[in-house]
Amino acid sequence: MLMELLYQSASSRPDEVALVYRDERVTHAELVDRVERLAAGLAAEGIGPGDAVALLLPNDPTFVTSYYAISALGAIVVPVNPAFKQDELEFYFRQCAVRAVISDDRSAGVCERIVAAWDEPAQVIPTSAAHGQALTLDMLMATDPARLDRRSPDEPLVYMFSSGSTGRPKRVARTHGQLRGESDYYDWMGIGPEDKIFCTIPLFHTYGMGCCMVAATRTGATHVMLEDPNPFLLRRQRALELIETEGVTIYPGVPFNFRLMAEAPASADLSSVRLAFSAGTALPRPFFDAFLDKFGVPVRQLYGCTEAGTLTANLDEDPVATFESVGKPVDGVEVLIEDDEGQLVPPGTVGEIAVKSPGLTSGYSDMPDLNKQAFRDGFFLSGDLGQLDEDGRLTITGRKKLLIEVGGYKVDPIEVEDVVVAHPQVVEAVVVGVGTKVQGEEQIKAVVVPSDELDERELIGFCQQRLANFKVPQVVEFREEIPKSPLGKILRKYLI
């Protein structure tokens, strides 16, 4: 269904720019041509409806092309963080039963090692033949283009993974209809073909996928991608230049990046930016003030989740007075605040945020028991805490779930614990977040009860092999026992 939007843009404004990346400008017509060619190439390799295809790519036109080619075939996109280690990649690949992996050159080798051990190996398709692979994305792109059929709204389009309160991340399937539903929010926000959306956030994440890529597709706006956006400190000057030279009008970002831009010695004319959004974590007031003082642009908070995409946005006429709020629900979204018994609470009272939206998933894949707890009467119990004011503006006050915020990522301590306790010399372990000197940032600390003498570096190396770098504990504390309540509940507050 998103493909129809690409066709509309290619028909109505074929020569206008859809994507900007480095010196490359891809028009709407060119983007459709690329998508059709790659889809035809993938189809020739046997990729079809229901097949899961992982994307291990940075933010670039190839990601966008691949995403739409895969989904237009009725196959399912599985965007994966390229920073993941082999064990994590294997988890995601197996969870989704991927049929193929489209990978950048850097990750192709590890992908091949993973799938080689499978009974039915998946196909690894690198972007180029850097390692002498027989089949590359470039080759598939040489296929003759073919018009793509409309997909059914109920067909799954993408598998994402959501952090949870227990165990490994949970698979979230969202359909063509749900992504199309989310895409309408951006049109409702007033984003249009004359807009230019600046992307510095990963497209493999729901925020980047929705607020940048899908938003551009739905509205016909130009999607301007910052190349190699991490670490952002080394790219902030380039980011400022791009915003100014391209005349960016919409900038979805994260708090830390807004802070870095405000602290940059050089300035830039950001007067073209009419909507700057911040999401992912709370926007500290000093960051908001610094960015506003320097550039005259108020950063508005936005709220969403992996399960539903964007949910609320602060489009208030007075973004300064309302800066703490993530805004009102976007068109079609309902937000309720409930107490622990599931009863609605009055405005001004904190409770759990429950949401219902056209973009909301039907549930976590293959987890019926969890779905009974997390979904009720069409609403999703987010695990976030917040309150509504008298005018319906939402403010996030905390999290019901235990997640550690590390460098912009939300790390599930249970996932890290599972890895730590898998070490043969670990009897018990608890993972907590501990504060650092940087506001809003935490470190991961593992409190471990060893069976006998255990070297910290060996334990860290064990984790390093199995977890992405940002999930590896930075602090290890050995104890003889973990503090618990009389009922056996772990007393995490004594471990921080």
Partner 1 sequence: MSVSADIEQFILSELTQGRGITEIDPSENLLSKGIVDSHGVMELVGFLEERYGISVGDEDLSPENFESVASIEGFVERKRNGQT
Name the residues that contact partner 1, by CB under 8 A.
83, 106, 228, 230-237, 256, 260, 264-266, 407, 438, 441, 456-457, 460-465, 468-470, 472-476
Specify the residue, 172 or 262, whose C-beta has the smaller distance to partner 1.
262
Specify the residue, 19 or 463, whose C-beta has the smaller distance to partner 1.
463
Closest CA to 158 of 53, 304, 45: 53
Query: Minimum distance between the CB of residue 336 and partner 1, rounded to whole angstroms?
Result: 37
Query: Minimum distance between the CB of residue 89 and partner 1, rounded to whole angstroms?
Result: 14
Query: Cβ(237)–Cβ(264) under 8 Å?
Result: yes
Specify the residue, 256 or 364, whose C-beta has the smaller distance to partner 1.
256
Specify the residue, 97 or 468, whose C-beta has the smaller distance to partner 1.
468
Query: Minimum distance between the CB of residue 107 and partner 1, rounded to whole angstroms?
Result: 10
Specify the residue, 24 or 263, whose C-beta has the smaller distance to partner 1.
263
Specify the residue, 180 or 236, whose C-beta has the smaller distance to partner 1.
236
Query: Minimum distance between the CB of residue 464 and partner 1, rounded to whole angstroms?
Result: 3
344 has which bridge partners?
338
Amino acid present at 59: N
Query: Minimum distance between the CB of residue 84 and partner 1, rounded to whole angstroms?
Result: 10
What is the rounded radius of gyration, in angstroms, for the C-alpha atoms of the chain? 23
Query: Minimum distance between the CB of residue 474 and partner 1, rounded to whole angstroms?
Result: 4
Residue 16: φ, ψ to 5°: -85, 155
Query: Minimum distance between the CB of residue 292 and partner 1, rounded to whole angstroms?
Result: 21
Specify the residue, 47 or 472, whose C-beta has the smaller distance to partner 1.
472
Specify the residue, 233 or 422, whose C-beta has the smaller distance to partner 1.
233
d(CA 99, CA 106): 20
Query: Minimum distance between the CB of residue 402 and partner 1, rounded to whole angstroms?
Result: 20
- The sign of the torsion formed by the CA atoms of 81, 69, 191, 308 equals negative
d(CA 129, CA 37): 19
Query: Minimum distance between the CB of residue 168 and partner 1, rounded to whole angstroms?
Result: 21
Specify the residue, 83 or 482, whose C-beta has the smaller distance to partner 1.
83
CA angle 319, 242, 190 (to 5 degrees): 40
41-45 contacts: CB < 8 A, separation 24 or more? 41/139, 41/140, 41/141, 41/142, 41/143, 42/69, 42/70, 42/73, 42/75, 42/100, 42/140, 43/73, 44/140, 44/143, 45/100, 45/123, 45/135, 45/140
